[in-house]
Structure 1
Amino acid sequence: MNFSPIISVKNHVHALLTVILFLLVNIGINAQSKEDPNVLKNKIAKAESNPQKVELLLALSNYYLTKTGEEKSDLDNADLINTQARLLSDRLKYKLGKGKSILLGAQIYREKGDSENALEKTKNAITYSKNNNLTELEGSSYAELSIYDAEIDQKAKYKQTAIQLFKKSGAKEKQATTLKELGELYSINENPDKAEPYLKESLEVYKSIKYPHLQGVYNLLSEIYTQKGNYPESLKYALLAEKTAIAVHDNSLQLSSIYNHVGLVYYYLRQNDDAEEYWYKAFEVAKNYNDTEYVRTIGENLCSLLIRQKKEKAALELIKEMQQKFPSSNIERIMKENYLLFNIYRILKNNAKAGVFYKKLADYYGENADRNGNSIAVLRSFASYNYQIKKFDEFYRNVQRLDSLAAGAGNNLIRSESYLIWFKADSSRGDYISAIKHYQLYKSLSDSVFKGEKSKQINTLQIEFESEKKDKNINLLQQQAKVQQIQIQKDTVVKYVFIGSVVVLILFLLVLYNSFRLKKKKNEELEIQRQQINEQNELNKKMLIEKEWLLKEIHHRVKNNLQIVISLLNTQSAYLDNEDALMAIQNSQHRMHAMSLIHQKLYQSDNLANIDMSWYIHELINYMKECFDTDKNIHFVLEVEKTYLDVAQAVPMGLIINEAVNNAIKYAFPEDRKGEVRIVLKNTGENNYKLQITDNGVGLPEDFEETDRDSLGMNLMIGLSDQIDGVFEMKNDNGLKITITFTRNTEFEVTAENS
């Protein structure tokens, strides 16, 4: 029974049935939604001591119980919180809460591996529920009880009891879930006929409550129809499971099971590319969840497909990958892996390596494959191997037992393939009478498998066709004239429709051409406009650069000119003996330096419109300290916010500060008296600012007359304050305080400066 001859004989129709029967495994999982534990904890903290708090504690305990993973700390948390719920239920005399707590305690014991206490707690929950007429809880307890019994009939009986109790209490979702579990129980035990009605009833109940997560039921229905060999129905439910899972955003491990089932159906339908696509998707989901059993199961399915496709080396690589990344100590899993390797090396005719795995399989399953299940698949491989190595006694023993088992299972496909290799063995030994007999049996069964159903369909279609033909012939002669007339009319209509279609097509093409021409012209115009805009932008850039350069050059020249004037005044002062004249020249020099600083900053900065007053005031005060050598007796305090003023306000502001500080240095601290000069510039709201220059000197004399206000310095400060639309105030306050309030110009607003 070498796989290659089977593939060539039937054009890949029934290749690798042995691997299919043994390895193509259905896997199922139930998705479970859980409330966020942090949300539950917050609700518990805020809840009063009432039944609602009990329910919240039970929900949190159940979260830790069903949390992914097998952490002992999670089970300890579940147990602790469940105990709190039971104590609170006793205090409140809340019977339902206490009953739920007893059942939850049984489930916690089960997860801990203490089945004895778990079973006792479950029976306690049943007794408590009956005594207190808690019908729904009694149903949940019977559903739990079904887990502990090994006998399938007893398990089914407990679940049926639970279903009736859920039905009586109106708990439809639990009723549907238990129906699904009962169907799954029969499906696992390969009894699809019993599984089918329970799964369909589960589907109806779920639909009656508009339950959206139906993918698990669809998945199980696909599985049982696969078991029954009804692949169209199996594919229908497998695709429904996939569609539903995507609709409800189910990205859990269950999605891997769904993809696996779709791949299985496509495999059995010989649609290898579709099977491969879905199995690789299932494989990736399983690997993302790092679930060894899922990865190995789907990987083994993929290996069987690769062997069917004559990609034995790729199958070997996949097995090595699973051995390295997802090792398993499960004996059944190891034997399935050995089975795959046995068939791969057998197909590759590497009898030495195949023999190693044959011995392992024979030790586990027995020489007649009568132990640990999978007899048909293992026997078929044994027969193929014994035929290949010419051990005909073992071959005939294997093939006879295989035929008996396949006949009992009603599997004519395996029987036909068995007779084919039986025929070859007979022929190689010269037993031609037996060879002819087995070949005839092969042909007969093969035709029944692959042609019987199709023949029935063809015969049915032929009968329908003949009946319809006779009915038509009765009226054929009577309608012949009408048919001819109708045909002429049809031809005429077709001719005019064709002509009309040609005309419409020509008009349509003309419209398209005209539209294309207009669009092309418009695009050309837009391109010309774009080029003009780009040229104008380039010109504007050049003009802007030239303007900035000219402004910098102007500020530079103004600064240089002011420095020249300062130098000239300095030279002039060398020829003067009059103290007042020297003082006037010195004051003028200070004022010009104040203006020069502004122009210096502007031509050195990228910002040609505004000046940073915090920098400017510090520079101006440093200059004046150097000129008057005030470090010994006058301390300057500057509280200046980072403020940007344009040139029109910065120059007057600088001159005001210059005059005020100059006066403070000269008059506020006579006879080398020590003191402090404070300069404050701050924002008082929106664009309003306040400048204060205060000293703690002698202040204004009491006989300060109006004539003194007409001095050049006072006039300058008052006039400059008017120039910036500011309000000038001056008063004695433990010294002299000068205050100017003004509004900042925002025409050339700048928020930052590169300097």
Structure 2
Amino acid sequence: MKKLIFNYFVFMVSSIGSCAIGYSQIIDLNRNKPYTKVFVETDNFGASYLDTLEMAYPNMPTDAIGFSVLNDLAYYWHTRNLNKALDFTKRGLSLTAEKKDSLWEGRFQITQGAILLRMEKLDSAQIVLQAAERKVMEADLPLLYTQLGYVYERRGLLGKAADFAVKSMELGEKLNDKKAIALAYSDLSNLFWKQSKFEKGLEYGLKSLKLFEERGINDLDYDFTLYVVGNNYLALKQQLQALNYYQHAIAVGERYRFDNNLSDIYISLTDLYADLSQFRKGEEAGKKALKYAQLLDNNFMVMRSWLSLGKLQILEGKYPTAIESLTQCIKVATDKFGDAYYLSQAYNALGKAYAGNHDYQNAYQAFDRYDKLKSKVFTAESDQRISLLQTEFDMANKEGTIKQQMAQLKKQRSRQLMVTIIAILLLLLLLLAYKIVQNNRKKNRQLQKQNEEKEFLLKEIHHRVKNNLEIVSSLLALQSAQIKNSDLVGAMKESQHRVYSMSMIHQRLYQRKNLSSVEMKEYFEDLGQHILESFGMEDRITLCFDMKPIEVDVDTAIPLGLIVNELLTNSLKYAFPNQRTGKISIILRKSNSRTLYLEVADDGIGQPTPFKSAKTGFGLQLVDLLMQQLSGKMKYNLSVGTCIQFEFDLDHAA
């Protein structure tokens, strides 16, 4: 973070200095090399660099230099005005055809493909890029593959897009081209973000930024990568880090007038401020995103700007306004819109807006369209993730159904009251009122029965999850029986314990009336006894549970169970050698209403080195990851045996 702030400061100072930079910095016809290539050999200029190139282009001494200037004009104008960029590209294609220069014709076709895909002409872009592949040099291919990857990404074919990113990265490594490798990492970061694999997306984004900064040039792709890293931080709910990257990206974008990136960034800033419930700032960011998108005349950006505004308005509870924004978003997209990912998001948000406005028929139709588009985005490689998303979506639908039924019950009760009043005033209608009351009671019983059936289904889901986890545990046991390597057997056994600790959670959920929380004292007692018996140490080791019955939600219970499982296993393996007897104590309590305290201590031989420096095994790495997931802090005491203490903030826990 300190490095980011320092880089941002240096960039701002250089930006101020660049205001005085003139024509000769980029173009000097008296030099042997009259053109210092923008964003390759220098970035020391301001937003007027395109005017400089346009003015200098007619005076270039050779065709090759002239084509280089013209191609840069075409490529970088696409960040401000797509139609003007396309005009420069057509001029370049005409000149290269006239000169019969196939190499530069191919390079102009790469630029043409980049522009066409941003104009939503994906098929034309693909045809032009494939034609260029046969004409250009190997050093030009990483950029070409990047643009082809964007075409498939816009179509929602993320797996195919990732193939081109990897292909570009391998070629960059072969050519020792840091820019190509950095751009490939950036594209993979964006693709992981779209697949909701935010930790992986952040990892590749930071690797990309490191390479860009080693290169020492602030360009369009560096600016885009700052934005992508910010997106991954935002998805991980680290809003402050995300904001820092967005602000740096805005500074770069404003210096060089990268209007397309600025629209992207302000779209994400709208989402960030929505997360923070700062709706006024979010609306201002959304309007800026729309302004830059309209300057570009880019329907893709316009569509996403309306989408961000619509999602913000849903969080504000302005459902009719959100419906208008999202309808405008989908109208801009049209039926031929290529990007199934963002279009699916638009229909998902529209469904939520309709549901919030109690228009359930239109909500159902929007969610149905969302499901169909989503199936185009997530491939077979993401089956596990798709299943999880589908489960979450089904649960949300069931909760919506329950809320809808409760609202219906409320209306029916109001109707009953009205009928009663009418019955008192109009005795002649008493019989009719009685029948209405009887019918409503029957409906209430039916609704109650439906709710009971849904509760049964939820319990059955937990039961089946528990059974499936036990099958996994059994398979691990069978597999370990075939392995002679003691280390591998031990690893398989530890994996069985982890699976068992999760299956116990689901077992307790379907056995209890409360389907959302787990009582931890009984759970730890059963888990501890199971682990003792699996190690055959129940006669030597005593487990003490110094805690009162305490309930936590399932998202907290599973990581806690895994942490205790790892620490118990670690103590039993290392703390009591040579048939030594001893005691392990487990303490869990709430120190206040939102802070959870966990302690696992043994009176064994202790750790020879500090706990933190010993985090080399998978089990202890898992404990560290789970602690971070729960936003926890860890302390350790090695004076007598090993004592490890955790504090978790339940407001930020997973």
Greater relative contact order structure (CA < 8 Å, 6+ sep): 1
Give TM-score scaled by structure 1 length. Answer: 0.38
User: Normalization by structure 2: what TM-score?
Assistant: 0.43
Determine which structure has more spread, i.e. the larger CA radius of gyration.
Answer: 1
